[in-house]
Amino acid sequence: MESTLGLEIIEVVEQAAIASAKWMGKGEKNTADEVAVEAMRERMNKIHMRGRIVIGEGERDDAPMLYIGEEVGICTQEDAKNVCNPEELIEIDIAVDPCEGTNLVAYGQNGSMAVLAISEKGGLFAAPDFYMKKLAAPPAAKGHVDINKSATENLQILGDCLERSVEELVVVVMDRPRHKELIQEIRAAGARVRLISDGDVSAAISCGFAGTNIHALMGIGAAPEGVISAAAMRCLGGHFQGQLIYDPEVVKTGLIGESRDGNLARLKEMGIEDPDRVYTDSELASGETVLFAACGITPGTLMEGVRFFHGGARTQSLVISSQSQTARFVDTIHIQEQPKYIELK
């Protein structure tokens, strides 16, 4: 899968990032998202594969976007039998977030990126559009910290695993009313808190790399993004756990569904019999082969944002593979017309 799709999925996130970056700072978050979706969809439909969106832009049967259940790739088109050999056909599940952090793009803030994860058919958890309690930590803490423990306990364990004092740890938390007590507990334990307005995929992945000065992600964010984070962390060997949150009273910002009971019924219809189950990264991204790709839209901890020059653009992407056990940073110059110059730095 990696040798066949590796370069092409990088191009998918690059095209989405370039399209969205053109709307950076213009206050149009919906437009920044829409153009990223269309660019990602167009490039995926040029790949020799049969792909199915398991996490996308929503459960809309006829939406002209990357809706859940949509099929993409050359081998899903009407004349596929003329160009696709069934014996060589690659069937994959795809989780996408074409513009992770739409508000960040709209207001010219750091941390937005185009992301996707792929695995063979059935290899990614089809998370409902609910919320998820998340815990991400570096590889050294994998299997030692636990989402069922308190933040105080996990910080002490994390410090021991990293050979740091709790005071040297930085925890990323989304700046939401639901996290008031969590933030207070983290600070009381002695650790430092980095609040973010959007974009917890980047924060989760940053835990997998030394030198980012991010040592944990805690709190509640969107469930679909949790699956994408889990895919990356599985490839990196980091720690990730997620637990679905279905009670609107917990998240305080509303959920799809009118009530706790209604959301529980919806989960049961989806085949989720234990709504309180804690999922590991290997359960959320269970495929034999998992690939993750991201491209910075605005500058972030791991990647630069899109930089435009006369006649083209420069992007920085990250592709992580469970197959080759690699994390590659890819610096790409896109020449769209005759440039006046190309900057090396």
| Binding site feature residues | 33, 57, 97, 100, 225
42-60 CB burial, b ≥16 within 10 A, e <16: ebbeebbbbbbbbbbbeee
For 152, counting Cβ atoms within 10 Å of its Cβ (0-12 exposed, 13-18 middle, 19+ buried), the class is middle
**Which residue from 1, 13, 41 is spatially nearest to 294, judged by alpha carbons?**
13
The set of residues, in sequence order, having a beta carbon less than 8 Å from that of 336 and lying 6+ positions away, is: 311, 312, 313
Question: Measured between alpha carbons, how far is 256 from 84 in angstroms, rounded to an integer?
Answer: 38
**Can you say which residues are annotated as belonging to the binding site for Mn(2+)?**
33, 57, 97, 100, 225
